[in-house]
Amino acid sequence: MRPAGPLASLLLLASRVRADEKRLLDAFDRRGVRYEHVDSRTAWTPLVRAPRRRLVLNREIGHARALYAARALEAAGHLVVNSAAATDVCGDKWQTSVAIGAAGLPTPRTALGLTPEAALEALEDLGYPAVVKPLVGSWGRLVTPLPDRRTAETVMEYLAALPSPQSHIVYVQEMIAKPGRDIRAIVVGGEVLGAVHRRGEQWRTNVARGAATEAFEPSEDVVDLALAAARAVGADIAGVDLIEDADGRPLVLEVNHGVEFSGFQRAVGDRVDVADRIAEFLMTRAQTCFE
């Protein structure tokens, strides 16, 4: 790692240095960006203003820690990318859906049940098949298809027995008959770097679950929708997940604030260097805000 020293201009906050973070650190080195890696597991922030503002790239993988780190660092006067507000919205599927809906963007029909019993009533309105998703989570974990009422009753009975009150708040969504794939577009600084199709043997097409990625030239509709979705949640750096309905119309599923891009990078090859573009954006942001 490049020594930070007293003049370090960038903090990279991450508890795990994965392939994506290694790419980012390499990009910082190539561009001569002075940085310091801070392990969020050992970080603490006093309730005082910092003597000097810093630019922070928040790559913490855990949502709660990423959110409170962003809040604490912003309270100390630092500039955090993505902001605490964007991290808060993106990390909660319901808040994301609210922001997407408020922006008038197309998205699957969605409902929030304040109890599992209420969620069953919501599902009667949405219709089957449907999907139940945890409010907070990634990599497709605990996302469960509900083909019919009987399955939904079983799942809701399980949720009602969980000890966490948040588990009893149920996010349900219509299931879109996608064409065996979904779309991941990466947005950095108000620009779409590219898009990939994600295909998998499962109905969940997450790269973390073994989905294959294939680059394609996104249509104007996909580009415009990805940009609008990132703006709706206030994210400077985002992975926007889209799904195509039976008519081929793209819909927004999620917006990821701490986007993982290794699978995307393998698919696009040397057409775009995601880490380098993020480094470029951060350098521009630092020049704009601190000089």
Encode pLDDT of 203-230 as tens digits.
555 555 456 889 999 999 999 999 999 9
Q: Strand, coil or helix: what is 100?
A: helix
**pLDDT bracket for residue 91 (50, 70, 90):** very high
**Residue 245: Cβ-neighbour burial (10 angstroms; 0-12, 13-18, 19+):** middle
Q: Which domains does the chain have, with CATH numbers?
A: 10-90+279-290 (3.40.50.20), 109-174 (3.30.1490.20), 182-270 (3.30.470.20)
Q: Nearest to residue 224, comparing CAs of 246, 250, 206?
A: 250
Helix/strand/coil percent split, the chain, to 5:
40, 25, 35
Query: Which residue do the tokens 């998703």 mark?
Result: 133
> 39 pLDDT exceeds 50?
yes
Rounded Cα–Cα distance for residues 132 and 217 (Å): 31
Which band of pLDDT confidence, cut at 50, 70 and 90, is reported for residue 63?
very high
Residues 6 or more apart in contact with residue 166 via CB below 8 angstroms? 135, 136
Which of residues 126 and 291 earns the better pLDDT score? 126
- pLDDT on residue 9: 75
